[in-house]
Structure 1
Amino acid sequence: MSKIVEDLHQFQLYVRSLQGDEKGEAQVFCDRLFKAFGHAGYKEAGATLEFRVKKRGRGTSFADLMWKPRALIEMKKRGEKLNLHYRQAFEYWLNAVPNRPRYAVLCNFDEFWIYDFDRQLDEPVDKVSVHDIDHRYTALNFLLPQEKPPIFNNDREKVSRQAANQTADLFQSLIKRPGKPIDREVAQRFVLQLVVTMFAEDIDLIPSGTVTQIVRDCQEKGWSSYDLFKQLFAQMDSKKPASAGRFVGVPYFNGGLFATVEPVELTKYELELLGGDGTPDNTGIAGKNWSQVNPAIFGTIFQSSMDSEERHQHGRHFTSEADIQRIVGPTIVKPWEERIDTAKTLKHLVNLRRELSEFKVLDPSCGSGNFLYVAYREMARLDARIMIRLSEISQKEFLERAKRLCAISPRQFYGIDNDHFGVELTKVVLLLAKKLSFDEAVETLNAETNGFKGNLELAFSEDEVLPLDNLDTNIIEGDALFVDWPDTHAIIGNPPYQSKNKLQEELGPKYLNKVRERHPEVDGRADYCVYWIRLAHDHLGEGQRAGLVGTNTIKQNYSRESGLDHVLATGGTITEAVSSMIWPGAANLSVSIVNWVKGDAPGKRRLYIQEGNKLDAGWRHEDLDRIPSSLSFRIDVTKAKTIQANAKKGTNFQGQTHGHKGFLLKPAEARLLFNKDPKYQEVVKPFIVGDDMLGKKDAKPTRYVIDFSGKDLLEAQGYPDVFHRIQATVLPQRQKAAANELKKNQEALATNPKAKVNWHHRNFLNYWWRMSYVREDMVAAVSPLKRYIGCSRTTLRPVFEFISSEISPNDAIQVFPFDDDYSFGIMQSTPHWSWFINRCSTLTERFRYTSNTVWDSFPWPQAPTLVSVKEVAEAGRNLRKVRRELMTKHNLSFRELYRGLELPGEHPLKIATENLDVAVRKAYGMRKTADDLTFLFDLNQVIAAKEAASEPILGPGLPSYINDRDHFVSNDAILP
């Protein structure tokens, strides 16, 4: 490190000799910077100067230096105000895909502003002077040849998490006191009053140290915290200022939060949590610098921390500002920026400011208010943008308009949530936004206009932000699906998402029936968040916009039909979207983000996708003329039609659902039974799951299942060892589940005798000795065959394989009752995989084979010659042979083998797959240059039309004209 310090010192001396010319000296500055950090130069490190970044729509911008995936550096001339170029850096970073750099750096030859947009969006995580870089270089550790974690001095996320967690500890202590716990609602209000007070201290609304001094007096003098906080909060709600005493200087806050004051007497432990113990290392919650706490994330972290017993779960549903901006940016900021930047006249700008001050935003699932906070802050920045434009046209008009420094008010923001505390927290967050936005406006306009050389005195005045607005009618507690939404101009948010099955389990049939009766236009099988998409669109006026997060199922099946299909069919235009991305903090959850306008919008529409199934996966985007409801980059195949020859019963199945672990046996247990009496082989079968097939070296099943399908109760008792096992383990659970189901159904029917209720647990109880779903039609279809084709129902990679019919498939396996090599070849081919991934549903980033969308619409070759059928069969047999040889030689599973295909370079399986694809395309009559997805969609339309006209078509399997099936049926398969 001593050499780096010396090199950085030499770098400092060199920079002093520069004029700070952005065009002439930026490149040599960057090169010397890389050398100072131990590289031979920027080029040798792998960085690129003047890196091309594709702009939204048409055109290209050039980032001064790009070093993926670590950093981008954007240079400005010496003396330039870096805060004015934040948006440029963010746009460069946003569009620098794939392998987007982690950090963005703005530099004006004298100062580095370091951004980590994934952590905090509105300000740098650190500012480092070139003069100090020799001892502050750790903030730029990411520039070292061997990257180290940087050490930042302005990490607001870290400070926010610490403050939120400690405040949550105080709340937990209050409500969990032994003997006399504080009422939850009283504790919530008291803690929120403290939060506002601590913020107020550090943003100069009340005298600094007010809370800390109260705590010290309680600790050292034995005074009552109940009395002191009661007096403080009462003064904050009093229009008459204190003329003397300890609360002189405390202004009138109002805002509704202090209208009810119910303080508590804090324990010794709680006083230490709040005010520390008097040592420098423990300053307590009040000793935090609350001006560095970010309201955009504090509320969500705090709320999730309050009810979490495990610290690692804190912030589990935290939404980063970068992700919030994926909605606030396209829905609010960009349309307004375009209007402001194209305004030509003074009158136009003045009218725009008035219109912006009346622009209303709704979050109908506001949670802790983080979306509304970011929207407030960005609208305040838009207001400052208008003021800067005004200053360029007329100093007089600017000074006149500056009497109202920030035209944005908390009363422009509306929220709905069914969580009482979330509603109250949202009000607090918006009240803080008012002061923080005002302070930022002061800084920005002074910096940009230089205060018109002293003519503009933009000093803080309490009259601008106090008293606080009462938001009781803006932010309301209620179920957004059953309350009237206020009229606003934009709708944003992250509504709750839950699948149909989870909804039934979590909310019960009574609530679901109520929802479906109120909103019959939404398919009952759709995801919960689809109701918000539908309501938002129907609530918009012409030209108004919405942006919402939803599970990635919103682009699939019933959810798409009830949501995005409706949006596009009734005049909506998707302007920007994320097809799929991993949602931070939530395990196994992938989401889609959609921004749309009711009406048309000029220009291209940008569609993003996160490639891979990890948070740090790369990104790509395309600018399209139209974004379809499938949020797909390729041809929109959501309108493919059902082919009745495919959809008829018996062509594909879901495997068996055992429903209770009592049905499962280990191989050793099964062998003991078979040795005791071979008859047990009649009802105990090898049971393969998706992970066996994909993840095991030999792909064999790792467990057995007790299968009494087709047998009544008396017949099942003829196998006493396994019957008694089911009776002891499964029966009690099914009795309990049926009783709970009956109770919930009775509640629903008491409200509405015609309510739709489910009786599947009752049905399971009626046949308690059988698996939940034995799929008897599937068993009948595969039993005459020696093998059948199976694939894992959820998968990242295209793997189809023959499975011996002696093996029972779990419901994680999709079953196709075909034993011929031609059918296998068609299904294993790239054209079928393309259809699969563009028509299927998904589970996280794994594709899920769904019969009603994938299989039922997949068009098979309609006029394959005998020669081409043989070629497909032969290519399929060869591909399986190559797979077996590679897996045996290298001791690989299917999953490991197919991962190798994703790497560059030659691979025997790549060659075998290409040969199969050539044969399959020939069977289809598909030209070499044809796009397989477009070809299949067109063929789907032709086949569906022929069926409608009662014309003959070829369905799945070997063509009907082939009589010698044995030639196409080999014998390899996964064996028990």
Structure 2
Amino acid sequence: MNFTQIENNIQQLFKVIDKKSFIYDLLLCYGVPKATIKRLRDGGLNLGKTNDEIVWKKKLYFREEHKHDLHDLIDDLKDDFYINKHDPRFVIVTDFRTLLAIDRKTNDTLDISFEEYPKHFDFFLPLAGMEKAKNKDENPADIKAAEKMAKLFDEIKRDNPTKNETQVHNLNVFLSRLLFCFFAEDTGIFGKKQFTKAITSHTQPDGSDLSTYLNKLFDVMNRDSRNRKNLPAYLEEFPYVNGGLFRKQIDVPKFTKRSREAIIASGELDWSVINPDIFGSMMQAVVTPEQRGGLGMHYTSVPNIMKVIEPLFLTKLNEEFEKAIGNKSKLEHLVHRIWKIKIFDPACGSGNFLIIAYKELRRLEMKILKELNSIALSNIKLSNFYGIELDDFAHEIAILSLWLAEHQMNLEFLKEFGRTKPALPLKDAGNIICGNACKLSWESICPYSLFDEIYLLGNPPYLGSSLQSDLQKNDLIQVFMGFKGFKNLDYISCWFYKASQFIHDKNIEFAFVSTNSICQGEQVALLWPKIYSYNLEISFAHTSFKWSNNAQYNAGVTVIIVGVRNKSNRSKYVYKENIELKVSNINSYLIEGPNLIFDRRSKSISDLPDLVRGSMPTDGGNFSLTKEEKDNLIQHYPNSIKYIKKYLTGDDFLNDNEKFCLWITDEDLKEASKIPFIRKRLDAVREFRLNSDAPTTVEYAKFPNRFRQIAYKDSDCIVIPLTSSERRKYIPIKFLQSGTVATNSAGVVYNSQIWHFSILTSLMHNIWIKNVCGSLESRIRYSSVLGYNNFPFPTISNEQQKKLEKTALKIMEEREKHSEKTLVQLYDPEIMPDGLKDAHFQNDLEVERCYRSKPFESDEERLEYLFRLYEQMIVEETNLGTLFEIEKKKRKNR
């Protein structure tokens, strides 16, 4: 559903309001499927506890309220535990006179009279999959332009349905030409508002002749002076544009009164200053969600682009300029070098990285020419800027955007030097290719010759293996065929590997924005040895930071930036929270240290007791019992108590939720099945498994009393949540007595001792897990085979074990002092009790004394020490021919 359709739907809805069905009718306006609405009405999706509220998990909370003040109510709801638990994007309250809402993702609020809603319908566009745009500054080409263009696109598309690729391409080219004309008439390329005035004055109000008129106009703009004889004055006043923009004959869309008015309305905006990231978001507002999400048109803010280009090449060039000031030959050498630099973005989207790189090089060129007191004009050519883009529309916009950027920089040059190249006719264009970067030969697109200096950069698409389309899976096969395990790689790995091949033994470097997953967990072992095989190294890295940009559909992800080059003696830098650290080496985990690759291990390298994943029920929730269900069952069938155990998920023990489960052995099955409640639950388990798409699960339907995978042992244990917030200084683990079944959302260490608790809740362990294991978004994802089993801990004496046991018991004691609080509350860094903080601090000191007597000064120092110890332990294992050596041989044979 597009922008215009939603706006029309809302206007129709507010003509006659049915209060009882309002929220359902509203959701329909945003394209929510009728089947989903039915499930909300019937209660299947509605998690609300009362009749006057709707709770749709991850989506919205809605409440009709007439007794209480709405402002007080919504303030209370902000901190409501139940709402936070279900994490709705929107909280909405209304009495049908006033409507209040909170967007919990952006923290935007809405406070309006009810009848004003149609003016503010865009507040809830995320319900239709369209994120609200955030404007960076007071740029005149702001989001209003995006909205105008989106409306124009919707109008044109409605009257001109595209049925094949040629028609889609023609529409894309047409929109590119339109944008150029809007820009040209506001920046001195054309006369002031020349294009918009011409449409207003020379075409019929009903739009019937606009298509013919634009065909003539585009044809004229492709004619040089030799081919302009006998043109009418109203056409002749438009200049020759050249550059290929108007060269191809296309079928211009048909227009109506509404679409003509939409073009004129767009032209009336001020297009004189276009910020590339705003321009990119404008294009994003026009493109369909399917194109944008599936094909990877990524839009990055200027500050994030600078995080890539500055350490990649711009900082070095600026430093050379500073050193060359006052030395004519050095300045001339530098400017000639800049004129030859090639920039290549193999996933260029609408060209944002290329545009910013072009502008920054032009500005540096101006500084050099000014220092030289030169009369030369700019000699940085658009033909030195290369790109590959899968989406045809983005590819057209990238070419156009580079022309616009060139004109902007020519105006800056004119202001500085009083001279510049004429705006028209356009000269060369950027070498932007529409195609699949995973299948194309990069060398054929951006050729390399001796003495070339090339920089690859960009923000390629990233998708985990479970989210990849068939097309993307085929791309992985194309790039990594012949390698084992490549199907588990993130999609962006294709760009990292192809870039590594491209730069090998050449004067080329690359840097990409990426998901942090490629530098965590099993991805490291799958990808980075392949990169290092080309004799490459990481030259700089920005560690994980929250993505932010100004585009619509702003993806809330955590990213990194990684620069790679051929091995060199030049300095390497790690950037952490905008602090620059000069380091000796950057390993695959983006920390200073040796290039270690942590592979999966079946046993702990430190001889710690086994950590297993908890028992997996695969039961459709039918083994689970609430406290009320458990009490009621025992009340009616006292003998049933022997079939019940305490039940714990990773989330349950963090939030202190009390649950129970049915635990029935094969020997007890016949007797337990005589209890109607239990028999009904086991039947439901059987039915759930029989309806599964997984053959192994269907097969297990014949054992409805058993958990699908059983790890439970009747002994004390340590339980570890398999995901944990990155905000926490410590992973909140728990020591449990026997009799509790932990599910597969938690890790369990059976046969553990209290001093093991001390190690696993320490800062040393938490830092290790944060860096070595993978993550879900930015949350820590705990892995036994990568994190726990590879964690290096030295052999310690009985006396040291007793000291660790003492500090562990102190932590448990401090927790008991706040038994009314959950582990989530206790380990929230902003409200963690001082006594618990101190208990952990003392525990950390004791754990760290097991490694060395000298205190560690920083987390970086702790991690570096752990890496070195791990490396030492691996060498010792290899020399002894122990388990590690056996595992290594197994890997070679696989």
Do both proteins adopt the same fold according to a TM-score greater than 0.5, normalized to the shorter chain? yes
CA deviation profile, 1:298-323 (whole Å, cap 9, x unmatched): 1244225432499999x995411010
Q: Is the alpha carbon distance of 1:351 and 1:663 closer, same or farther for their aligned partners in structure 2, counting shifts above 3 Å?
A: farther
How many matched pairs? 718
By how many angstroms is 1:361 displaced?
1.3
TM-score when normalising by structure 1: 0.66
Tell me if structure 2 keeps the 8 A contact 1:300–1:318: yes
Q: Is the alpha carbon distance of 1:789 and 1:238 closer, same or farther for their aligned partners in structure 2, counting shifts above 3 Å?
A: same
The separation in 2 between residues aligned to 1:771 and 1:421, in whole angstroms, is 54
1:609 is aligned to 576
Q: Is the alpha carbon distance of 1:569 and 1:430 closer, same or farther for their aligned partners in structure 2, counting shifts above 3 Å?
A: same
Q: Is the alpha carbon distance of 1:195 and 1:907 closer, same or farther for their aligned partners in structure 2, counting shifts above 3 Å?
A: same
The separation in 1 between residues aligned to 2:794 and 2:291, in whole angstroms, is 56
1:498 is aligned to 463
By how many angstroms is 1:591 displaced?
0.7
By how many angstroms is 1:287 displaced?
0.8
Tell me if structure 1 keeps the 8 A contact 2:439–2:478: no
Tell me if structure 2 keeps the 8 A contact 1:575–1:595: yes
1:600 is aligned to 568
Is residue 532 of structure 1 aligned with residue 519 of structure 2? no
The separation in 1 between residues aligned to 2:358 and 2:152, in whole angstroms, is 29
The separation in 1 between residues aligned to 2:714 and 2:298, in whole angstroms, is 50
The separation in 1 between residues aligned to 2:198 and 2:292, in whole angstroms, is 29
> SS of the counterpart of 2:827?
helix
By how many angstroms is 1:682 displaced?
7.7
Q: Is the alpha carbon distance of 1:669 and 1:250 closer, same or farther for their aligned partners in structure 2, counting shifts above 3 Å?
A: farther
1:688 is aligned to 648
Tell me if structure 2 keeps the 8 A contact 1:530–1:562: no
1:892 is aligned to 821
TM-score when normalising by structure 2: 0.71
Task: Give 1:450-465 correspondences, 5 Å limit.
Answer: 458=419, 461-462=422-423, 465=424
Task: Give 1:549-564 correspondences, 5 Å limit.
Answer: 549-564=513-528
By how many angstroms is 1:659 displaced?
6.0
Q: Provide the alpha-carbon RMSD of the alignment.
A: 4.1
The separation in 1 between residues aligned to 2:813 and 2:360, in whole angstroms, is 60
> SS of the counterpart of 1:247?
helix
> SS of the counterpart of 1:584?
coil
The separation in 1 between residues aligned to 2:705 and 2:215, in whole angstroms, is 60
Task: Give 1:432-447 correspondences, 5 Å limit.
Answer: 432-446=404-418
1:230 is aligned to 215
5+ residue gaps, structure 2: 1-133, 449-453, 885-894
Q: Is the alpha carbon distance of 1:861 and 1:467 closer, same or farther for their aligned partners in structure 2, counting shifts above 3 Å?
A: closer
By how many angstroms is 1:285 displaced?
0.9
> SS of the counterpart of 2:237?
coil
- Give the aligned residue type for 2:836: L
The separation in 2 between residues aligned to 1:295 and 1:153, in whole angstroms, is 12
Is residue 285 of structure 1 aligned with residue 266 of structure 2? yes
- Give the aligned residue type for 2:743: N
- Give the aligned residue type for 1:438: N
- Give the aligned residue type for 1:879: I
CA deviation profile, 1:190-248 (whole Å, cap 9, x unmatched): 22221111111112222332332244244548661111111111212223347433122
1:155 is aligned to 137
> SS of the counterpart of 1:252?
coil
Is residue 653 of structure 1 aligned with residue 612 of structure 2? yes
Q: Is the alpha carbon distance of 1:877 and 1:536 closer, same or farther for their aligned partners in structure 2, counting shifts above 3 Å?
A: same
1:203 is aligned to 187
Q: Is the alpha carbon distance of 1:271 and 1:800 closer, same or farther for their aligned partners in structure 2, counting shifts above 3 Å?
A: same
Tell me if structure 2 keeps the 8 A contact 1:792–1:814: yes
Tell me if structure 1 keeps the 8 A contact 2:536–2:566: yes
- Structure 1 residue corresponding to 2:743, chosen from 810, 813, 834: 810
Tell me if structure 2 keeps the 8 A contact 1:300–1:317: no
1:844 is aligned to 777
1:321 is aligned to 302
Q: Is the alpha carbon distance of 1:766 and 1:645 closer, same or farther for their aligned partners in structure 2, counting shifts above 3 Å?
A: closer
- Give the aligned residue type for 2:256: T
Identity of matched residues, %: 23
- Structure 2 residue corresponding to 1:375, chosen from 338, 341, 357: 357
Q: Is the alpha carbon distance of 1:268 and 1:773 closer, same or farther for their aligned partners in structure 2, counting shifts above 3 Å?
A: farther
The separation in 1 between residues aligned to 2:233 and 2:705, in whole angstroms, is 73
1:520 is aligned to 483
Q: Is the alpha carbon distance of 1:850 and 1:309 closer, same or farther for their aligned partners in structure 2, counting shifts above 3 Å?
A: closer
Task: Give 1:408-419 correspondences, 5 Å limit.
Answer: 408-419=380-391
CA deviation profile, 1:35-55 (whole Å, cap 9, x unmatched): xxxxxxxxxxxxxxxxxxxxx
2:762 is aligned to 829
- Give the aligned residue type for 1:909: L
By how many angstroms is 1:850 displaced?
1.6
Task: Give 1:379-394 correspondences, 5 Å limit.
Answer: 379-391=361-373
CA deviation profile, 1:450-470 (whole Å, cap 9, x unmatched): xxxxxxxx15624xx423535
> SS of the counterpart of 1:575?
strand
Task: Give 1:333-732 correspondences, 5 Å limit.
Answer: 333-343=314-324, 345-391=327-373, 398-399=374-375, 402=376, 405-446=377-418, 458=419, 461-462=422-423, 465-469=424-428, 474-485=431-442, 486-487=446-447, 489-503=454-468, 507=471, 512-517=476-481, 520=483, 523-540=486-503, 541-564=505-528, 566-567=530-531, 570-584=534-548, 586-600=554-568, 602-603=570-571, 605-610=572-577, 619-632=578-591, 635=593, 638=596, 645-646=603-604, 651-657=610-616, 661=620, 663=622, 665=624, 667=626, 668=628, 686-694=646-654, 696=655, 699-701=656-658, 720-726=679-685, 731-732=690-691
By how many angstroms is 1:491 displaced?
0.4
By how many angstroms is 1:578 displaced?
0.6
- Structure 2 residue corresponding to 1:913, chosen from 840, 850, 871: 840
The separation in 2 between residues aligned to 1:328 and 1:580, in whole angstroms, is 17
Tell me if structure 2 keeps the 8 A contact 1:652–1:816: yes
Is residue 801 of structure 1 aligned with residue 768 of structure 2? no
The separation in 1 between residues aligned to 2:603 and 2:206, in whole angstroms, is 86
Q: Is the alpha carbon distance of 1:707 and 1:769 closer, same or farther for their aligned partners in structure 2, counting shifts above 3 Å?
A: farther
- Structure 1 residue corresponding to 2:175, chosen from 191, 194, 202: 191
> SS of the counterpart of 1:767?
helix
The separation in 2 between residues aligned to 1:870 and 1:368, in whole angstroms, is 62
- Give the aligned residue type for 1:490: Y
Tell me if structure 2 keeps the 8 A contact 1:159–1:292: yes
By how many angstroms is 1:641 displaced?
7.9
5+ residue gaps, structure 1: 1-151, 276-283, 392-397, 447-457, 611-618, 736-760, 955-976
